[in-house]
Structure formats: C-alpha cells, structure tokens
Amino acid sequence: MRQFFGSGNDEQVFLEGPSSRKSELGFVFRMAKDFIKGFRVFHFVGPCITVFGSARIEEGHPYYELGRKVGAAVSGLGFTVMTGGGPGLMEAANRGAKEAGGRSVGCNIALPTEQAPNPYLDTWVDIHYFFIRKVFLFKYSYGFVGLPGGVGTMDEVFEAVTLIQTGKIAHFPIVLMGAEYWRPLIGFLEQMAKEGMIEERDLKLFLVTDLIEEAVAHIEYYAREKFRLKKGKQPQSSPWLGEG
C-alpha cells in the first residue's frame, strides 16, 4: 500500500488512482487545513480584484511597470489587490497597490522554483494544492486582470472565463492588459466562435486593452456599480478563534 503521510510529492501519489483509505483520509485533512488557513486570512481582506501574470518578468520590463500601474489603479477604486503572491508580475501588482496606499494580499503556492511570497504583501497564505489556491483567487474577487503570462496565467484566465460562461460565478469583469501579447489568443478564440465551439457572445466576456483608464472604467462599472459595492463594516475578528 502507498502511504500518504511523509510523501515527498503526495499530489502525484494521489493522482495515480485509488490509495489506501488512510492515505485518502490524510489527503482530505490536508485539503481542510489549506481551506481553513485561507478562510481565516481572507475573511478580513475586503472585496478584491485578482491580478494574474507571469512570475518570470523582472523589474524594469515594460510589463512589470504595467503591473505596478494596474495595482495602483485597482487600489484607487478601493479594492484589495489579490495575486498568487509570487514574484514577477504578481509582485508588480502587489507593489503598485502598496505604493498607492492600498491593501495587498497573496495566495502563494508551494513550488520547488519561482514561487516565494513577494515583499509587498500585507498578508498571505501558503497553499499546497493548486485547485485550492484557485478557489481563493476567485472566491473573494469581484473582477480579474490578466497580465501577460505563461501556462499558469492562461489556466487562471480561462478558469475565470469558464466560470462566468457556465454561470458558476456572476459576470464579473475580466480585463486582459497588453493587447499585442494577447492578440494571437484572441484570434484563436474568434476561430473557436467561427467553428461554433463557443458563442459569439463569449468573446464579450473580457476586455482587451493597453489603457489603464479604460481598464479602470470597465472594472468600476462591472464590479462596483453593477454589484453595488459599498465600503461598509468589515467582519469582526473573534478572540475565541485566535483572531483578536
């Protein structure tokens, strides 16, 4: 029998198929631990806009500066900036939020490379499982901004589109910043619509732009005005739960 506890890569073991009941119970407990950590931290962060983007872009790159501007602009609307918590464009968005005097949080994933909490986070959680991380990135957000990125960024952007397309979450705004970078993908989506794989209306689920002002106006209307978000009382911490 394979054993869950103490495994160096328990995700691979779990995805191999059925394990012992003890192993699968251990997996459930570890998932619960990740969920509880996230719920305790993000319960108090307020409505968020989640920013996706590459972990590989360094300071000085035009995309990094774009990320900082996005973070600052989102903060200016009164939202907390949430990212995957790592370096690169995630760091840029968190940094922009902090520099603008806004709130900045991260949902970090445990990986061998590329991923460690960036220094511009007010608070964060370290999550073991990708699918749980995505639950938090979507649960607390009223909109999503996709900066240029790789496979992980594409996964997150398409998760947002799929959840909205299928009605699993409300029609929150999705903004893709960096029009030239996203152009080939948009062309492919247009081909999907032409072939009948998606509906023409699905192409309107997101805005593609280079303009911060246009992105801000889109988010403000679809996230704040449409859902009538107002600054109000935040949930109160409980000393009985160690939150005081």
**What's the confidence (pLDDT) of residue 153?**
97
**What's the confidence (pLDDT) of residue 1?**
34
Closest residue by Cα to residue 94 from 54, 102, 59? 102
**What's the confidence (pLDDT) of residue 26?**
87
Which are the contacts of 172, defined by CB distance < 8 A and separation ≥ 6? 141, 142, 143, 144, 160, 164, 222, 223
Segments of the chain with pLDDT less than 50: 1-8, 232-233
**What's the confidence (pLDDT) of residue 59?**
97
Q: What would the pLDDT profile of 136-178 be if each residue is shown by its tens digit? A: 999 999 999 999 999 999 999 999 999 999 999 989 999 999 9
**What's the confidence (pLDDT) of residue 241?**
61
**What's the confidence (pLDDT) of residue 179?**
97
Pure H helices in the chain? 10-14, 21-42, 62-76, 89-99, 130-139, 151-165, 179-194, 212-219
**What's the confidence (pLDDT) of residue 208?**
98
Closest residue by Cα to residue 130 from 187, 69, 198, 84? 84
List the domains of the chain with CATH numbers: 35-225 (3.40.50.450)
- Which DSSP string do the residues of 109-138 spell out, in sequence order? E--SSS----TT-SEEEEES-HHHHHHHHH
